[in-house]
A and B are shown apart, each in its own frame.
Chain A
């Protein structure tokens, strides 16, 4: 049985109202509104998953795996998934304020890219999909959550450090230590995934066109991100970085990711990753 045609609009609506209600609930410190927002977001997440499953089941592989709609939708779903894991493991429900709008943006972007397909690498397979897209998207979703936690850390830390007092919603926020833990896990788990995703991409590029690196803008930016991510990984684990510095750098890496995903994919002609109509 097919899903209704208005499903994308419904999912966008659910994410939109989920975001709006969560922000409102946080501002008013109203637990009911926040729970309502999370329920809306949860329903949106479930329908979003169904939508993706239908895309996978209903189309001829490997086409949909590289369609803009599928990929951006997958990234949105990944962000929601990582948020749910962080909520479950670290009680970071607060990150809904980041996860819901990002899921909304990526799902809406996905919907807008219907019909646009990237140039297919000749040897695209499911294994490639899992290794390259799966790992990269998982790490990107983590980056998004890490950036959200980092921004919250910087904001809260500034208030505590400068002794400007905590407003009501800031009193409800998790502790600095909790935000820093998110940063730690995003770096520890996200960097290896990102590296694996990138390496698998280069391997497939070599297998398909006998070229590892093609000076594609996306590839250049990805390498810059990998370098920064590696530096962050090293400083955090070997040098004991905590708090402000890793939070700032992680936000920087996340912003590069946004440039890479939304800027380069849509605006710059690239070898494999362009969605430019």
Chain B
């Protein structure tokens, strides 16, 4: 390999939030351009989110011997952020070669995230890649590496259950509601009291299609205000129990020191609603709903501790899936290493002849089958013919590659294109493979991951800590 890949970065594990704030890159594009200008690098890609900064660089192997590349990158990073280099050095990790590739694949597959399996990081990586392509700091190796990391992330998500269960309290509540009611369309919910987590759970329910949301608050004005923002209907606190007969899901989060909903109230409500199931989500501390409610038939009550337990179980299940995901990452790293080796001219020429030989033999076999029995001389003549056509066709492209290698010292850009044109690596080609760069930013809204509610449709929750 005559090119070296380096990755320098910090994340939520290696650095506290104040360090991450200090060394976050406000303009990734400017940083990439200035880094290319300041250091002897071929390619640069930087990713900066509130939980991590990753700087991926590619340098010529001979330049690496002359200069400590990672140190140069660190120095430039510290200068850009106007922060102390020593502090930065103590909080960063550095990877080189296949270790850097492994790290990047793990980041893309969300194995390195604070909430493992969350999907935002992939969108952020795609956005960074798109910018790097636009500014021209991402070329052959980073192009391939990033495309590969996207496909690794996709494989991990489809072949493992790493993102299949809820890891936030509000989303866990919605998942349970779906397990009880199936489709949530046609169902109604009531939000009693206020509170960020309760409002978030109600928002999730609306996202999943509940028909109506009632908002009940001791202060009717507050209920009206919330009802306006959440497109719900305000209900007087005194009417709450009476209105429950038409409500399937109840989220309670009041500051009441005693229970506001008791089993005897619900027994009456159940009769009126002909035993249709009810799901109570009690997020309040102290609890708003009498625990005896759970003993009634067709009534399910989850309080904050129960939901936390569900989330913890799901988190540990994701940890189990991470083992499978890591195996996928390892396989893909091996495949990438093979590709890196193939970027030299000689392996590509060998592969080209191999492909030509393969096509020639297949076409010859077809022709011979059509012709029927032929004498040995004809057979030999045909074989020479197809082989020489293949070789003649490849002659000019191979001369071109040799010439460019001689003139520029390296022609990996053309070698890569050649390998892709002839599909020498046998990659599966998606019909929309080339839309990746352009559509990267369009696929998902790309706000900072900690500023959005992350789990409405297999996304994480905002009541979790900041994540990526």
Chain A interface (Cβ within 8 Å of chain B)? 29, 156, 160-161, 163, 165-166, 168, 171, 174-178, 240-245
Chain A: which residue is nearest B276 at the CB level?
A242
**Contact yes or no, A177 B277, CB < 8 A:** yes
Name the A residues within 8 Å of B294 (CB-CB).
Answer: 161
**Contact yes or no, A176 B313, CB < 8 A:** no
Q: Chain A's nearest CB lies how many Å from the CB of B259? A: 19
Interface residues of B in 67-115 (CB under 8 A from A): none
**Contact yes or no, B181 A177, CB < 8 A:** yes
How many residue pairs link A and B with beta carbons under 8 A? The number is: 52
**Contact yes or no, B297 A243, CB < 8 A:** yes
**Contact yes or no, A168 B161, CB < 8 A:** yes
Give Cα A175–Cα B182 distance, bound, in whole angstroms.
5
Query: Residues 155-174 of chain B: 1 if any A CB is under 8 Å from the residue's CB, otherwise 0?
Result: 00000010011000000000
Interface residues of B in 261-288 (CB under 8 A from A): 274-277
Q: Contact partner of B165 among A171, A175, A241, CB < 8 A?
A: A171
Given A171-B179, A178-B182; 15 other pairs, CB 8 A cutoff: A161-B294, A161-B300, A163-B310, A166-B179, A168-B161, A174-B182, A175-B180, A175-B182, A176-B181, A177-B180, A177-B181, A242-B276, A242-B297, A243-B277, A244-B298
Q: Contact partner of B275 among A163, A176, A178, A241, CB < 8 A?
A: A241
Interface residues of B in 297-350 (CB under 8 A from A): 297-298, 300, 302, 306, 309-310, 313, 317
Name the A residues within 8 Å of B302 (CB-CB).
Answer: 163
Interface pairs (20), CB distance under 8 Å: A160-B300, A163-B302, A163-B306, A163-B309, A163-B310, A165-B309, A165-B310, A166-B179, A171-B165, A171-B179, A176-B179, A176-B181, A177-B180, A177-B182, A178-B182, A240-B275, A241-B275, A242-B274, A243-B298, A244-B297
Q: Given A171-B165, A175-B179, A176-B277, does the pair A242, B310 have CB atoms closer than 8 Å?
A: no
Give Cα A161–Cα B302 distance, bound, in whole angstroms.
9
Which 7 pairs from chain A and chain B are nearest by CB? A240-B274, A175-B182, A242-B275, A243-B298, A177-B182, A165-B313, A163-B306
Name the A residues within 8 Å of B306 (CB-CB).
Answer: 163
Name the A residues within 8 Å of B179 (CB-CB).
Answer: 156, 160, 166, 171, 175-176
Name the B residues within 8 Å of A171 (CB-CB).
Answer: 164-165, 179
Q: Chain A's nearest CB lies how many Å from the CB of B178? A: 7
Name the A residues within 8 Å of B180 (CB-CB).
Answer: 160, 175-177
Q: Contact partner of B176 among A29, A160, A178, A244, CB < 8 A?
A: A160
Q: Chain A's nearest CB lies how many Å from the CB of B455? A: 16
Q: Chain B's nearest CB lies how many Å from the CB of A235? A: 10
Determine which residue in B176, B179, B277, B306 has the highest number of CB atoms from chain A within 10 A of its CB, and name it.
B179
Name the B residues within 8 Å of A163 (CB-CB).
Answer: 302, 306, 309-310
Chain A: which residue is nearest B187 at the CB level?
A177
Name the A residues within 8 Å of B297 (CB-CB).
Answer: 242-245
Give Cα A199–Cα B176 distance, bound, in whole angstroms.
45
Name the B residues within 8 Å of A156 (CB-CB).
Answer: 179
Q: Chain A's nearest CB lies how many Å from the CB of B465? A: 22
Q: Chain B's nearest CB lies how many Å from the CB of A155? A: 12
Name the A residues within 8 Å of B165 (CB-CB).
Answer: 171
Determine which residue in A156, A166, A177, A245 has the highest number of CB atoms from chain B within 10 A of its CB, and name it.
A177
Name the B residues within 8 Å of A166 (CB-CB).
Answer: 179
Give Cα A242–Cα B180 distance, bound, in whole angstroms.
13
Name the A residues within 8 Å of B277 (CB-CB).
Answer: 176-177, 242-243
Chain B interface (Cβ within 8 Å of chain A)? 161, 164-165, 176, 178-182, 274-277, 294, 297-298, 300, 302, 306, 309-310, 313, 317
Give Cα A120–Cα B388 distance, bound, in whole angstroms.
85
Give Cα A245–Cα B179 distance, bound, in whole angstroms.
19
Chain B: which residue is nearest A168 at the CB level?
B161
Name the B residues within 8 Å of A175 (CB-CB).
Answer: 178-182
Q: Chain A's nearest CB lies how many Å from the CB of B387? A: 42
Name the A residues within 8 Å of B275 (CB-CB).
Answer: 240-243
Name the A residues within 8 Å of B178 (CB-CB).
Answer: 175
Name the A residues within 8 Å of B298 (CB-CB).
Answer: 242-244
Give Cα A175–Cα B183 distance, bound, in whole angstroms.
9
Give Cα A168–Cα B9 distance, bound, in whole angstroms.
36
Name the A residues within 8 Å of B161 (CB-CB).
Answer: 29, 168
Q: Chain B's nearest CB lies how many Å from the CB of A173? A: 8
Chain B: which residue is nearest A160 at the CB level?
B300
Give Cα A161–Cα B179 distance, bound, in whole angstroms.
12
Give Cα A174–Cα B310 distance, bound, in whole angstroms.
19
Chain A: which residue is nearest B271 at the CB level?
A240
Give Cα A139–Cα B160 distance, bound, in whole angstroms.
42
Name the B residues within 8 Å of A240 (CB-CB).
Answer: 274-275
Give Cα A141–Cα B302 distance, bound, in whole angstroms.
37
Give Cα A163–Cα B294 distance, bound, in whole angstroms.
11
Q: Chain A's nearest CB lies how many Å from the CB of B173? A: 12
Q: Chain A's nearest CB lies how many Å from the CB of B179? A: 6
Give Cα A175–Cα B178 distance, bound, in whole angstroms.
7
Chain A: which residue is nearest B178 at the CB level?
A175
Give Cα A100–Cα B302 distance, bound, in whole angstroms.
36
Give Cα A99–Cα B294 distance, bound, in whole angstroms.
33
Determine which residue in A29, A174, A240, A244 has the highest number of CB atoms from chain B within 10 A of its CB, and name it.
A240
Chain B: which residue is nearest A91 at the CB level?
B182
Q: Chain A's nearest CB lies how many Å from the CB of B6? A: 40
Chain A: which residue is nearest B179 at the CB level?
A175
Q: Chain B's nearest CB lies how many Å from the CB of A15? A: 29
Name the B residues within 8 Å of A176 (CB-CB).
Answer: 179-181, 277
Give Cα A242–Cα B306 distance, bound, in whole angstroms.
25
Name the A residues within 8 Å of B317 (CB-CB).
Answer: 168
Chain B: which residue is nearest A174 at the CB level?
B182
Q: Chain B's nearest CB lies how many Å from the CB of A195? A: 24
Give Cα A175–Cα B161 distance, bound, in whole angstroms.
20
Q: Chain A's nearest CB lies how many Å from the CB of B162? A: 13
Chain A: which residue is nearest B279 at the CB level?
A160
Give Cα A244–Cα B295 distance, bound, in whole angstroms.
12
Q: Chain A's nearest CB lies how many Å from the CB of B166? A: 10
Name the B residues within 8 Å of A244 (CB-CB).
Answer: 297-298
Give Cα A177–Cα B277 distance, bound, in whole angstroms.
8
Give Cα A59–Cα B179 distance, bound, in whole angstroms.
50
Give Cα A163–Cα B301 distance, bound, in whole angstroms.
9
Chain B: which residue is nearest A29 at the CB level?
B161
Give Cα A221–Cα B147 distance, bound, in whole angstroms.
69
Give Cα A10–Cα B176 distance, bound, in whole angstroms.
42
Chain B: which residue is nearest A180 at the CB level?
B277
Chain B: which residue is nearest A173 at the CB level?
B179
Give Cα A161–Cα B306 distance, bound, in whole angstroms.
11
Name the B residues within 8 Å of A242 (CB-CB).
Answer: 274-277, 297-298
Chain B: which residue is nearest A240 at the CB level?
B274
Q: Chain B's nearest CB lies how many Å from the CB of A136? A: 30
